[in-house]
Structure 1
């Protein structure tokens, strides 16, 4: 019988992976800033049409802009933390699903240890 099990994928922080993560954070931050600018532009455009109530329109757009600003703050915090982390640190990258085979007579492990795959610069370094 086959079962689906969650496997954690961790990344060892190297100079190149640190730079790659920094670039990803910066790109995401820039995208969110562009979205904020676009929302401001759309708000001004829709205010001129006078087809919507100005209060509800502004409230809706401000809510969307605020959500993006919160995400930008989170990304800035992640960038700060990235600079603090020493090389060689293990970062949880994601979780994937794996099929495992079980049969009668196998030992059922309830120790709670989750299988982990450790990668370094895109290459699998260890499977625990």
Structure 2
């Protein structure tokens, strides 16, 4: 029988990976800054237009603009915190990156606890350096 199982993809933190992550976070923070500016400008216009339709509508528009601004500010703060965490991590640290799925053959007599332990793929600078099943290195 075959079952589908998640596979953890981890990467080993190298100086190159650290710089790529920080650079990507900076781009995202910059993009959020542009979005905040747009929300501010478009929000002012929308509020002015809503004022002509009545105070209640203007209030709703203002709340919507504030919600959007707060969402972007929270995203920016999370990115800043992640950048700080990455900068503090030691090189060589394994970091969970994503999950993918694989198909696993299950047979009578298999050790279910090892199947439940799952699999991991470890990547270093874009190259797979280890595949683990049940916590043990696995070579196909």
Tell me whether the two structures share a fold, i.e. TM-score over 0.5: yes
Cα deviation, residue 106, structure 1: 4.1
Moved more, 1-10 or 111-120: 111-120
Distance (Å, rounded) in 2 between the aligned partners of 1:57 and 1:87: 47
Give the equivalent residue in structure 1 for 2:43.
Answer: 43
Higher relative contact order (CA 8 A, sep 6+): 1
The unaligned stretches of length 5 or more in structure 1 are none
Greater mean deviation of Cα atoms: 47-56 or 115-124: 47-56
Deviates more, 1:33-42 or 1:7-16: 33-42
2:86 to 79, 82, 104: 82
For residues 1-128 of structure 1, the aligned pairs below 5 Å read 1-49=1-49, 50-51=52-53, 53-103=57-107, 105-111=108-114, 112-128=116-132
Write the distance in 2 (CA, Å) between the matches of 1:3 and 1:34. 45
- The 1-side partners of 2:70 and 2:53 are apart by 24
Mapped partners of 1:106, 1:26: distance in 2: 51
Instruction: Show structure 2 runs of 5+ residues with no match.
Output: 133-140
Aligned equivalents of 2:5, 2:30: Cα separation in 1: 36
TM-score (norm 1): 0.92
Counterpart CA distance in 1 for 2:109 and 2:104 is 12
Worse-matched range after superposition: 110-119 or 86-95? 110-119
Pairwise CA RMSD: 1.4
Report the CA distance between 1:27 and its aligned residue. 1.1
> 2:112 aligns to what SS in structure 1?
coil
Structure 1 position 114, deviation (Å):
2.2
Q: Secondary structure at the match of 1:110?
A: helix
